[in-house]
Amino acid sequence: QRKSGNQMLIFVHSRAETGKTAKALRDIAMERDELSLFVREGGATQEILREELSTVKNADLKEVLSYGFAIHHAGMARPDRELVEDLFADGHIGVLCCTATLAWGVNLPAHAVIIKGTQIYDPSKGRWAELSPLDVLQMLGRAGRPQYDNEGEGIIMTAHSELQYYLSLTNLQLPVESQMIKTLPDHLNAEVVLGTIQTIQEAVDWLSYTFLYVRMLKNPNLYGISDKAAKEDPTLKFRRMDLAHTAACMLERSHLVRYDRRSGALQTTPLGRIASQYYISHSSMALYSRHLRPNMADIDLLRLFSMSGEFAHITVREEEKLELSKLATRVPIPVKESPSEPSAKINILLQAYISRLKLDGFALVSDMAFIQQSAARIMRAIFEISLRRGWSGLAKLTLAFANMVAYRIWRSQSPLRQFKNVPEIVARKLERKSDIEWARYADLTPSDLGELVGVPKMGRTLHKLVHQFPKLELSAHIQPITRSILRVELGLVPDFEYDIKVHGYVQLFHIVVEDVDGENILHHEMFLLKNTGAEDEHTVVFTVNIMDPLPPSYFIRVISDRWLHSEAVLPVSFNKMILPAKFYPPTELLDLQPLPITVLGEAALTKLYSFAEFNPIQTQTFHHLFKTDKNCLICAPSGSGKSACAEFAIMRMLVNDPQGKCVYVAPKEETSLNTFLDWSKRFGSILRPGQVVQLTGEVAPDLKLIADAKIIVCTAKQWDAISRRWRQRKAVQAVTLFVVDDMHFLGGDAGPTMEVIISRMRFISTQKQQKGDAAQQLRMIGLSASLANAREVGEWMGVASKGLFNFSPKVRPIPLEIYFHSFDQSNFASRLMAMGKPVYNAVMRHSEGKPSIVFVPSRRQAQLTAIDLMTYYQSIEGETFLGKEAIPEEVAKIAGNLREPALQQVTSSGIGFLHDGMVESDWDQIMDLYQKGSLTVLVCPVDICWKVKIVSHLVVIMGTETFDGRERRYVDYPIADLLHMMGMASRQGIDTCGKCVIMCHTPKKEHLKKLLYDPLPIESHIDHYLHDHFNSEIVTKTISCMQDAVDYITWTLLYRRLSKNPNYYNLQGTSNVHLSEHISEMVETVLGDLEASKCCQLTDDGDVSPLNLGMIAAYYYVQYETLELIAASLTAKTKVRGILEILSHASEFGILPIRQGEEKALKILARNLPQKLPESAQFQDPRTKALVLLHCHFSRKALSTDLRTDQKRVLCDSINLIPAIVDVISSNGWLKPALAAMELSQMVVQGLWNKDNVLMQIPHFTKEIVDRCESYEGEDPIESVFDILTLDDDVRNDLLRLPDEKMADVAVFCNNYPNVEVSFEVQDSDDITASDPVQISVKLEREVDDEDEDEEIDETEFGKVAAPLFPKEKREGWWIVVGDTKTNSLLSLKRVTLQRTQKIMLEFMAPEEPGDYNLTLFCMSDSYLGCDQEYSVPISVAVGESDDDDDDDSSGDESD
C-alpha cells in the first residue's frame, strides 16, 4: 500500500494494543530497511513530525511518531488526539493504529482499512465475544476517500470459523433489530410520569407506536413469539400486553409506580418521578431505596453511589491497578474495598475528581469523566429521595456532595473556591487559617482580609467576594392555629451583593424545617430569589405540624441549592408557647324523619320551595328557627342548604311581627347580590314592591330604602357605614332580625368589619333590653362553615347552647368524595402544565357525563384549560362534552353569537369558561347553556367562585395557589374559598354523592387535608384594624374616654379569643393581669396613632374627643391613614395633577391585586400616557397601578379584561374619596385646590381630561365629530352641550353623521345635561360690618323643557348622571362655594343634591379690614364637565362698632 502512497487505518481492540502494533510495524520496517516508505529522508514531513514531537505527552506516540506511524484511542489526552487527527488529515502520517472509537467519533477516511482480529473482551459477560456487525461496517466505511479515491480496500483478519459470517455481512444487508425490550421499564416509567400512560391498556397502545412492534410483526420468532401465537393474534396484542405487564410489575417491585392489577391503572410515585427526572434506571432506584439509611455518613454514601447500575460496565483494567492503589492513599474519604474492585475504582475516581488530582494513565481519564457526569445527577436524585422520606441529615449530605462535584471542592476547603477568580495560593492560605469561622469573614475589613492571606492587594477583591457569597438573614413569626398546626411566617432578607454575572438571574434556596434532633424534615419548600428582588425582604408562609408532646424547639434551615456553606439556621423555641385551648366536639346530626315543606303552615310560604322535603340539617334546626325567637348559630359545610335555615327565621318574622325588619349581611358583594336576586324573586312574590331591597353603599339613598323595607340585603361594609350612627338613625334601631352569612370570614379580609357590626348589633340589643323594650327584641342568626371554636363565636353572639348547631365538615346532606392529587413541580407554571392531562382524566373518570366545574388560578388559565380539555377529548375519544339532550346545531348557533373567539371554539364542544371581565351577554348565554345541561364542563377562575351560583356533580380545583403581585409571590387560596368551591359539588335531590378532586403542590397536601377534614378555628384580626373603627366610635361619642375604648373591646370576639389562644395575639400568659395589660396597651397605641394623625384629641385625664379629620374619615368611610396622607400632602398651590397623585396614594388602593406580568403591561401603558408619572413610581406598587388606571380612564385607553375590572374598583373608590379631599381642602380655606378637586371629580365620572373638549362627554362623539363642530361656521360657535340642543335638526345630522339609535343616546344625554338657574342675594347687604357673620341665600332651580311640563314628571329621575364610562349609577351632586379668587381663600362651602329646586344658606365671616370686596360664588357639578357657573358677589364692609368685640370675633373666627 505504501508503495502506491496510500494512507491506512489499522483497527485494534484495546488501548494497549495500539501502541504494541505501531511499535511492531516500526520494528519490521527497520529490519527490512523500508522506513523510507513511511517518511522520506530530508522531506518536509520529517521536519514537521520532529517539530510536533516536542508537544506530545503520550509515551507510545512519542516513540513511533517520527517514523510516520501514529496511534489514537480514547485514553489519550485531547491535544495528542487532535494532533494525530490533523497530521493524518494532512497526509504526514502513513499508518494510524487506533481503536474503534475513531471509526465512530472522528471523520478521518483512508484508502485502506485493516481490522486486526474480530474478537473483543466483553466485561459484562466476562468472556471474549465477536465484534458487533455495526462496528465492523462502521470501520470498513472509513475505507476510500471521497473525491480522491475511486475505490477503497478493507482487510479483515479473523478466525476461519467466522469467515462466512463476515463475507455475508459485507455482501448482504442485515436487518436492524429493536433493542428496546432491555430498557422497556424505564421508558414506560417516563411515560407514566408524563401522564401519557395511565392504564396498562394505554401502555399496550403506546407499544404499537414503537419500532419494536414493527419488527415483532415482521420477525416474530426472533422476539420469542411462536408461529402459532402469531397466527392466533395477528396484532400481537397479547404479546404487547405481556411486555407491558412485565415492565409494570418490575417498576412496581422497584416502587416506581403503583400498579393495580384489577383495573390496570398505573400511577406514578415520588420515586418514579425522581427516576424519570434524573434519568436513573429502575434497578438503581430499587437499590437506593433498599440501602438508604437516614444516618448515612460520607463513607456509606460513596459506597452506595459506586454500586449504582449506571456504572455496571466499568471494570478495572490490569494496567490501572497500580495507579488506583496510589490514588486510594491520596483521597480524603477511606475506601473499604480493595482497589481491584470496580466499586472501589468508581469511588476513588469520584473523590480524585473532586480533589482535582492529576491522573497519569489516560485510561482512567475517560472513566472519570463518565463517573463525574453521572455523579451530580445521582447525588441530586438521592437528595430528592431523602427529602421525600424526611431525612434531614442525608438530604444535607447529598446536596453538599452534588455541589462538591459541581465545583470540585471539598467541604473542608474554603467556600471562596466557588468563585472563578480566586488564585490557588490565596485559597490555600485561607484554608490554613481554619481557626477563623466562615461566618466571621463577613465582619472583616478589606485590610484584615489582605493581612490574613499575606497579600494586601487581594484584600479588596476578597472582601467583595465574601460579600457576594449568598447569605440570607432569617426572622420568623410563629402562631399556633390549633393544638397541632403551627403557622410560620418566615422573613428572608438577602444579605449579599447580587451580581448577575456571578449569581445568574435567580438563586434557589431550600427551606427546611427540622425537628429538635435535626433528624426529621417536617416541612420542605423551595424559595426563589430573583435578581429583581435582591434588595427586598421576602415572606414565605407555611404551616408545620406540632408534635405531641411539645418539643423544646424546631430549626428552620435555608440552604442554597448551588452554593456550599451557604446556609442560615434559625432556632424556633417553644418554651414560651401556650397552645390554644381544646375545642368542643361538633354537634351530632340526628337521624330524624325529614320534614315535609308543609310544616311551614302557610300556603304562601310553601310555594317558595321547589322541593318536597327539607334535608337533615334543615330538619334538625327547623324547630329552633321557626318556632322560637332565640338567637341561633348554624355551622355546616358549604352546600348543605344553610340559606333555607335563614329563611325559616325570616318567615317567622314575617308571620309573627308586622313591624319586623330583617337585615341580611354577607361579607362578599357577590354573595349578597346572589341572595338579593333569589329573595327578591321569591319573597318579592309575597311582599309589596320595595320591601326586599339591596343597599347601594351611599348613605342618604340607603336610609330611605331601609325605612320602608322588610328584608334588607347588604355587605358588611355597607351595614357598618349605615349602623355607625345608630343612635340617630331610628331605622337601624328598628331592626328585629339580623342574619350574618359566611361567618367563617371572620378570619379573612372582611373579618374585622363583620366583627364590628356583630358586636355593635349585640350592643344595640342589650341596650334595648335594658330599656325594657320587649316588643323590639333583636334576634341574631349566624350561618357559617363548620368551625372548631363555634362555642365561643356563639357565646359572643349571645347564642344559648341549645341554639348552637355546629356540624362536622364530614356531615353533608349529600356525601362528598374528596380526591387529592399532588404534583412535585416547584415551578408554578410547569405545575399547571403538568395538571392539564390529569384534569382531563379526573373529568372523564369521575363525572360520568354529569356536569363538572373546573376552578383554575387565573383568567388566562381558564381559557387554556378549556382548550386543553377540548383537544384531549377530541384527540383521544374523538368526541365532545355536549350534554346528552343537547342539539349540537343549536349550541353551535349560540356559540357563533358569542363575542370571544376562544369561547366560540370551546362552547361548541360542550365546554364553557367564565371570567370577571366577560361581556354580560356572553356570561348569561354560557350560564344558561350550563344550567340547561348543554355544556357539561365549566372552567372558572377562582376569583369568581362567589359570583357564580351553580352546582355540579364534580368539582376539580386545579392548583391551590394564585399569584399576588403586591408580595410578588404565590399565595394559597383562602380556606373559605376552597370550602365554598367544594360545596358546589352537591346537587340536592339529583345526586346521591358529589365528588371533588383537589390538585395541589406536594408540600401543601398534608396541610390542606388537615384543614379541609377538620373544622376551621376562627381567629379575630380586628386588632390590626382597630384605628378606623375606634375613630368612627369616637365621632359618634360611643367612645369618649380610655375606659369606653376598653369596654368596646370586651364586646368583640377578639376579647374571647385572647385568653383561648394567647400566642396567636402575642400574649405571653392568660391571667387577668396579662389580659388587661394587653388590652390597655392596645387601646393606648391605637388612640395614640389617631392622635398623631390629628383625627382625635386626648386629654391627660384620658378623655377623647373627635377632630375635623376624624369626622371626615368617619363620614365618608375613608381610612384614617388616607386622610392623614391627604392632609399632609395638600398645599395651597396643589393643581389637578397633584390631587390626582394624592388620590392614587390612598390606602384604599393598597389592596388592588397585581397579577403576573402586569408590571410590564403597566409600564407599557404608562409610556403612552399624555402625562408622565412621577419619578418615584414603582410598578409593583398597587398605588402606581391605581394612578395608571386613572390616567387611562381619562385618556380613554383600551385595557385588558383584568385591568378593566380593577379600573372599575378604582373609579368607585375615587368618587367616594374626592369629596373627602374637598372637605380637607375647605377646612384649610384654600380655593384653587378645592376647585381643582371638584374638576377631578368630573373627570372621574366622565372619563376625560379637564383640558379635553366638553363635547367629548356626549356618547359616541369622536375626535372627528368634535373637529367638525369646532370648525362649524354658524351664527353661534358650538362650545357646550347646550349648543348641540339649539341646532337645527338637519345641521345637527350633518355634523354628527350618526345612525338613529346612536342619535337617540345623544338626545338622552343632552336632555339630561343639567341646566341650572342660580339666583342669590346677600342678606342685609347694607349692614355688613368687619368680622361679623355674612349670610348669602342661594336658590338653585333646574330648568326642565317646557314640552315636558304637561306630563307628570318623575322627580326621582332627576339627577341621574349619564356617564357611559362610569361603572355604576351616579347621582349628581353640586358644590356651592363662596371664595375670594385674589387671596385664594375659600370662605364657605356646601354640598347639595338637586332634584327640582333647592334653597341653601351660606354663612361666613366678613373680612377683618373694612372696604369693598369682590367675592365669587361658584356652582360646581361633581359629574359633568362644562356646566359649572360662577357669579361675582360684591360686598362692602363697614367698620365694626368697637374694637374689643372685634378681637373676640377674630379669635372666634379662627377657631371656627
Q: Is the pLDDT of residue 1446 over 50?
A: no
Residue found by looking up cell 504494541 in the block: 20
Please tell me the distance from the alpha carbon of residue 625 to that of residue 649, in angstroms, as a whole number.
5
Q: What average pLDDT score do residues 871-899 get?
A: 82
- Residue that wins the pLDDT comparison between 1158 and 619: 619
Choose among 1170, 1169, 1147, 1137: nearest CA to 1237.
1137
Percent of the chain residues past pLDDT 90, beyond the cut:
16
Contact 689, 709 (CB under 8 A): no
Going through 1226-1287 in order, the beta strands assigned E by DSSP cover none
pLDDT of residue 1347: 52
Please tell me the distance from the alpha carbon of residue 1397 to that of residue 85, in angstroms, as a whole number.
104
- For 1255-1272, the DSSP string reads GGGSTT--HHHHHHHHT-
Q: How far is CA 970 from CA 434, 545, 825, 830, 851, in A?
A: 42, 21, 14, 14, 30
At residue 1350 the predicted structure's pLDDT band, cuts being 50, 70 and 90, is very low
> Which pLDDT tens digit goes with each residue over 772-808?
765 568 899 999 988 888 888 999 998 998 899 999 8
How many CB atoms within 10 Å of residue 91?
10
> Which pLDDT tens digit goes with each residue over 938-955?
999 988 888 888 888 999
Rank 180-189, 262-271, 830-839 by mean pLDDT and report only the highest: 180-189
Burial class (CB in 10 A: 0-12, 13-18, 19+), 1210: buried
Strand duo 1373-1380 + 1411-1421: pairing: antiparallel
Beta bridge partners of 1259: none
> Which pLDDT tens digit goes with each residue over 1049-1080?
888 988 888 888 888 888 888 888 888 899 99
Contact 24, 109 (CB under 8 A): no
Residue found by looking up cell 311581627 in the block: 657
Q: Is the pLDDT of residue 569 over 70?
A: yes
> Which pLDDT tens digit goes with each residue over 48-85?
888 888 888 888 888 888 888 899 887 788 888 889 98
Amino acid at 738: F
Helix, strand, or coil (residue 475)? strand
Q: What average pLDDT score do residues 1115-1144 get?
A: 88
pTM value? 0.78
Contact 1326, 1317 (CB under 8 A): no
Cα 818 from chain centroid (whole Å): 23
pLDDT of residue 1456: 34
Please tell me the distance from the alpha carbon of residue 1182 to that of residue 1204, in angstroms, as a whole number.
15
Choose among 1051, 1024, 1037, 1021: nearest CA to 1110.
1037
> Which pLDDT tens digit goes with each residue over 1177-1200?
788 888 888 999 998 888 888 888
Grid cell for residue 378 = 445521582
> Which pLDDT tens digit goes with each residue over 651-684?
888 888 888 889 999 998 888 998 998 888 888 8
Residue found by looking up cell 465512530 in the block: 104
Please tell me the distance from the alpha carbon of residue 852 to that of residue 936, in angstroms, as a whole number.
6
Q: What mean pLDDT value characterizes the chain?
A: 85
> Which pLDDT tens digit goes with each residue over 735-786?
899 999 988 888 878 889 999 999 989 888 888 878 776 556 889 999 998 8
pLDDT of residue 1454: 35
pLDDT of residue 282: 92
Sequence-separated (6 or more) residues with CB below 8 Å from residue 822: 999, 1000, 1001, 1002, 1004, 1005
pLDDT of residue 631: 92
Q: What average pLDDT score do residues 536-544 get?
A: 88
Q: Is the pLDDT of residue 896 over 90?
A: no
Helices (H) then strands (E): counts for the chain: 55, 40
Q: Is the pLDDT of residue 331 over 60?
A: yes
Amino acid at 666: A
pLDDT of residue 263: 85
pLDDT of residue 1411: 84
> Which pLDDT tens digit goes with each residue over 1275-1324?
777 778 888 778 788 888 888 888 888 888 888 888 888 888 888 888 87
pLDDT of residue 997: 93
Please tell me the distance from the alpha carbon of residue 632 to that of residue 617, in angstroms, as a whole number.
14
pLDDT of residue 209: 92
Q: Is the pLDDT of residue 249 over 70?
A: yes
pLDDT of residue 905: 85
Percent of the chain residues past pLDDT 70, beyond the cut:
97
Q: What average pLDDT score do residues 1413-1435 get?
A: 88
